[in-house]
Chain A
Amino acid sequence: MKILRKTRFNGLRKAMQMSPEEIKEKIKKSELKGRGGSNFPTGEKIEMTMSREGVKKYIICNADEGEPGTFKDRFILKKNPLNVIEGMLIAARAINSEEGYIYLRGQYSYLKPNIEKAIQAAKKAMKKINITFNFHIIIGGGAYVCGDETAIIESIEGKRGNPRIKPPFPSRKGLFAMPTLVDNVETLANLPLIFTDKNWNDNWRLFCISGDVRKPGVYELPLGIPLKKAIQMARPKNKIKAIYFGCYGGCIPYDENLILDCEPIRKKGAMLASSLILVDETRNILDISAIISKFFEFESCGQCTPCREGNIRVLELLQKISLGKAKRKDLKLLEELCGVIGDTSLCGLGQSSVNHIMKEFKYFKNEFQEKLK
């Protein structure tokens, strides 16, 4: 796999010969996009963080991989943590930062020794190149919402992981009110590759395929291939009915002719990130829906009204439908409620918590209607 190639600090060495401006330009030109789900251009984020000069800046490696069906960051941190650390150092050089935090999700705490080892190795290399950088590892407390870039900051600061209102964005006012660059593990692991591999391009992504398949796992695939090809690799057990893009990305009905790329899937109404949970024809969509809604109900930080009070009602209505006790008006209410939760929640978690239902309504509404009284 490309992502596992070890660059042994050659990327950093190359970056050291460049000015921060040049590093930023190179990353911008590479068109690397955030791999934590936002797809936001990394170079632009670095540029924004550079803009406030003369103050202390921080880098946060977001290793709070909590999206159900996603396990690629775990995979990278296990097999190639050194590149992640090197990526942090390259980004640090660009934004002129000397301190960084790796926020490792609590359920991955067993990866801490691995990361510590990589940091030790990095320290030796840093000495030779003559740079200083302070690494800290913070173990998360088991709250999905901390994967949000502002919640992660709150959490490191020792607070409840409530997402902040934006603006200000972390690039201006982040950790301890200082400009902060928050990047995902896979994003950072790609940085040294950009500096060492002339043929590197943003198309190769990691996908985590799981669910009703015989060979679940991490697959490195280029965008643009037929979706069918990707799915065949994981060997579905039966005919696939729907694909869920994690819990937050929504779902689409399986279509053999679909291309694995952001745009075609966005056109279908879903968001392509790393997770593909395949659901086959033996399943009832309503059951999956309830499981996902339960997840969001449980993981809501509880700050804002629609997410806190809304998601519990969504769950109630789904259960009512499942039990065959719901009427048409309940279904209508559910639809209306989901619209408002998605439209008015404070953070990404709340806004995307109903994506799946909106898409289930679009593509599998009959399964809901069949259950009505």
Chain B
Amino acid sequence: MKITLNGKKIKCEEEQTILQVAKKQGIKIPTLCYSERFHPKSVCRVCLVEVNGKMMPSCSTKVKERMVIDTESQRVLKARKINTELLISEHKEHLTQTKKHELCVLAKDVGVRQTRFSTIGKIHNPNEGIGIARDDNKCILCGKCIQACEMQNVNAIDFAYRSYHTKITPAFEGRIDDSVCIHCGQCILACPVNAIYEKDSIKDVEKALKNKHVFVQTAPAVRASLGEEFGLEPGTLVTGKMVSALRKLGFKEVFDTQFGADLTIMEEATELVERVKKNKNLPMITSCCPAWIKYIEHFYPELLNHVSTCKSPHEMFGAVLKNYYIENSRIKKKNAVVVSIMPCTAKKFEAQRKELNKDVDYVLTTRELARMIKNHRINFNNLKEDNFDAPLGISSGAATLFGATGGVTEAALRTAYELETGKDLEILEFNQIRGLKNVKEGNIMINGHDLTFVVVNGLHYAKELLEQIKKGECKYDFIEVMSCPGGCIGGGGQPIPTTKEIIKKRMQALYVNDENKIIRRSYENPAIKLLYKEYLGRPLSEKAEELLHTKYTKRGI
């Protein structure tokens, strides 16, 4: 179809929004409440354009034959400016913020340096939860956090009141920790003004660094994204520089959560094989995503017996370190502090679960680590590459995959196959469960049993499967659920922005990392072998059950 865009006649496809068409034409229209992930709500009114003489939101208005669109008329510019001024009037601090967010950029783009409207000064107390916190003083009510929460089928927050008194809050203005919030942090990634953020643990960690023996472990997804905070291209692997930075920050020993991931695979694959043999509690569902665990505890507690009893990798790591590793060293347990660097805000919540005995003391997100590095004025990009310490820094390629959706399944299958058949899998890549599709399924013949599995990419798609299990109609043996789209690489603790394109690049980096590893199966990891030989015996042994497995809480809604 043909339309006129800023005086130019152009051809475009049907069923596209004005925003999409303009973008293709290289015309920039500012947006604020728009996100590629959600259905447009068109409430911020800054992406307005003139369509046949009428002001229309470009994010939700679709092009029509012979439409005449002006994206930069005086009327449009004036409207954008006033609406931005209105948004800023209650939040003047947004203009002077050092960390630039979407609203700062918007203000600059539309030429707003100050606002002519007075400030009433609504004052709210920040609602601080264990994993995430929100500060309504910064909130501009765009509603994207609500959309993110709705997308997860959690609905912990919603709008309340109306008019100027509108606010976003858990029910009855309760605390985040009293709500069904699963701390996944997707709302943080959605927020254009940093009104939602991780509960800060930097201070605690800095304090520990001064007078304790601090161990650090880093999740697979962090090495694929941390570079973005220092201006590197998304998908740049910065493992070596990250290790160097951690040493410079004062961490005594730098380990890898991937060691924990390999251990998880040993336990989880064994558990799966056992359950299949006994045909009990199938399908088995993965347990490494703490947001997912909290979700099922709230919304489907009756299905908790399906969840693997394995602790998540960093918690397994913590347990091994605080018991096995410390016992063999001269460090006193009370002086040992374990810090996890995670792409995740839910891990902060997980770390304080009573049943996990504080094996991990503090969790820092990717963003927090970047902030620490910047606070210490470390020139990240100029750092020399360094290696993880042994033995808890040794890991397989399979463990790397944990960072991406489908990775846990792929890693588990590599080991489950060996456990059952005694043979190594020849083709390691399970391409049908890679990538960003929402639900990915497959099957593999193991000793005559047709093992079926499904990968859920994003919590939104878990509900249907859970309902199937409830009705006894679920046909799978194994289900992997990762709450965040793309898996941990799209986690709520990752650098902002985290878009689909960026997630793809981070994912690719992990796949390359796996391919480049010499050891690609968890059971081949020598450090793991040694751990079982010296300490645990075998997977699911009494000692393993005690240290590496956990139980869950029925929470309800």
Given a CB threshold of 8 Å, the question of whether A touches B is answered with yes
Tell me whether B87 and A309 are in contact (CB under 8 A). Answer: yes
Q: Mark A134-165, 1 if CB is under 8 A from B, else 0.
A: 00000000010100000000000000100001
- Asked whether any CB of chain A lies closer than 8 Å to the CB of B248, the reply is no
Do A302 and B86 touch (CB < 8 A)? no
- Give complex CA distance A62, B246 in Å: 65
The docked-state distance in angstroms from the alpha carbon of A227 to that of B90 is: 45
> Given A297-B163, A344-B45, A346-B42, is A308 in contact with B79 using a C-beta cutoff of 8 Å?
no
A179 at the interface (CB under 8 A from B): no
A289 at the interface (CB under 8 A from B): no
Alpha-carbon separation in the docked complex, A339 to B118 (Å): 19
> Interface size on A (CB < 8 Å)?
30
**Contact A343 B166, beta carbon cutoff 8 Å:** no
0/1 interface trace, chain A 289-319, chain B, CB 8 Å (1 if under): 0000000011111111110111111001000
**B163 nearest in chain A by CB position:** A300
Q: By the criterion CB–CB under 8 Å, are B141 and A302 in contact?
A: yes
A308 CB to nearest B CB, Å: 6
* Contact pick for B86, options A298, A299, A310, A343, CB 8 Å: A310
Interchain CB contact under 8 A, A306 and B83 = yes
- Determine if A259 is an interface residue (Cβ-Cβ < 8 Å): no
| Residue contact A302 to B79, C-beta cutoff 8 Å | no
Q: Taking the complex as formed, is A53 at the interface, i.e. its CB lies under 8 A from any CB of chain B?
A: no
- A299, A305, A311, A312: the one contacting B45 at CB < 8 Å is A305
B164 and A308 form a contact (CB under 8 A) = yes
In chain A, positions 324-364 with a C-beta closer than 8 Å to chain B are 333, 336-337, 339-340, 343-346
Q: A165-B57, A302-B141, A304-B43 in contact; A313/B89 too (CB < 8 A)? A: yes
Set of chain A residues within 8 Å of B164, measured between Cβ atoms: 297, 300, 302, 308-309, 311-312
Contact (Cβ within 8 A) A340 B78: yes
Q: Does B117 contact A (CB under 8 A)?
A: yes
Contact (Cβ within 8 A) A160 B159: yes
* Residue pair A305, B87 in contact (C-beta under 8 Å): yes
With beta carbons under 8 angstroms apart, the residue of B43, B86, B162 that contacts A313 is B86
B70 to chain A, nearest CB (A): 14
A309 partner, pick from B41, B42, B48, B86, beta carbons under 8 A: B86
B123 at the interface (CB under 8 A from A): no
Contact B55 A346 (CB under 8 A): no
Is B165 in contact with chain A by the CB < 8 A criterion? yes
Residues 10-48 of B contacting A (Cβ, < 8 Å): 40-46, 48
A338 to chain B, nearest CB (A): 10
Residues of A with C-beta under 8 A to B43 = 303-305, 346
Instruction: Enumerate B43-81 residues with CB–CB distance to A below 8 Å.
Output: 43-46, 48, 55, 57, 60, 75, 78-79
Q: CA–CA, A372 to B213, complex, Å?
A: 69
Least distance between B370 CB and chain A CB atoms (Å):
32
Q: Is the pair A343, B55 in contact by a Cβ cutoff of 8 Å?
A: yes
Tell me the minimal C-beta distance from B82 to chain A in angstroms: 4
In the complex, the answer to whether A298 meets B45 with C-beta atoms within 8 Å is no
Q: Which residues 107-155 of B have a CB within 8 angstroms of A? A: 116-118, 120, 141
Interchain nearest-CB distance for B111 vs A (Å)? 15
- Which residues 277-297 of A sit at the B interface, judged by CB distance below 8 A? 297
Complexed CA–CA distance, A277 and B83 (Å): 32
Please, which residue of chain B has its CB at the minimum distance from the CB of A341? Answer: B82
- Decide if B82 touches A337 in the complex (CB within 8 Å): yes
Q: Does B172 contact A (CB under 8 A)?
A: no
A302, B167: Cα distance in complex, Å? 9
Q: Which of B40, B42, B45, B78 has the most CB of A within 10 A?
A: B45
Distance (whole angstroms) from the CB of B172 to the closest CB of chain A: 16
Q: For B86, give the chain A residue with the smallest CB separation.
A: A309
- State A345–B54 Cα separation when bound (angstroms): 12
Min C-beta distance of A349 to chain B, whole Å: 11
Q: Given A302-B141, A304-B45, answer yes or no on A160-B162 (Cβ-Cβ < 8 Å).
A: yes
> What residues of chain B lie closer than 8 Å to A308, measured between beta carbons?
141, 163-164, 166
Known contacts A165-B42, A304-B43, A333-B116; is-contact A143 B87 (Cβ 8 Å): no
Q: Are A302 and B159 neighbours in the complex by a CB distance under 8 Å?
A: yes
Bound-state Cα–Cα, A303 to B43, Å: 6
CA distance A333 to B141 in the complex (A): 24
Q: Which residues of B contact A145 (CB under 8 A)?
A: 162
Q: How far is the CA of A369 from the CA of B142 in the complex (A)?
A: 36
CA distance A308 to B57 in the complex (A): 17
Chain A positions within 8 Å of B78 at CB level = 336, 339-340
Q: B162: which of A143, A305, A344, A346 is its contact (CB, 8 Å)? A: A143
Bound: A247/B148 CA distance, A = 37
Distance in angstroms from A362 CB to nearest chain B CB is 19
Q: Give bound CA distance, A333 to B161, whole Å.
A: 28
Residue picked from B41, B42, B82, most chain A C-beta under 10 Å: B82
How far is A333 from B89 in the complex, measured between Cα atoms in Å?
Answer: 14
Complex formed: what's the CA distance from A267 to B87 in Å?
35
* Chain B residues in 8 Å Cβ range of A311: 163-164
Complex alpha-carbon distance, A304 and B44, angstroms: 6
Nearest to A337 among chain B residues (CB) is B82
- Give chain B residues whose Cβ lies under 8 Å from the Cβ of A303: 41, 43, 166
**In the complex, are the beta carbons of B82 and A336 less than 8 A apart?**
yes
**Residues of chain B lying within 8 A (CB to CB) of residue A165:** 40-42, 57, 60
Please give the distance in Å from A101's CB to the nearest CB on chain B: 22
- List A contacts of B89 (CB < 8 A): 309, 313
Residue in B closest to A160 when the chains form the complex, CB atoms: B159
Beyond the given A165-B40, A308-B163, please list 8 additional residue pairs across the A-B interface where CB-CB is below 8 A: A143-B162, A160-B162, A300-B163, A302-B162, A302-B163, A336-B78, A344-B83, A346-B45
Enumerate 22 A-B pairs (CB-CB under 8 Å) in ascending A order: A143-B162, A160-B159, A299-B163, A302-B159, A302-B163, A304-B42, A305-B44, A305-B45, A308-B163, A308-B164, A309-B87, A309-B90, A311-B163, A312-B163, A313-B118, A333-B116, A337-B82, A340-B78, A340-B79, A340-B83, A343-B55, A345-B45
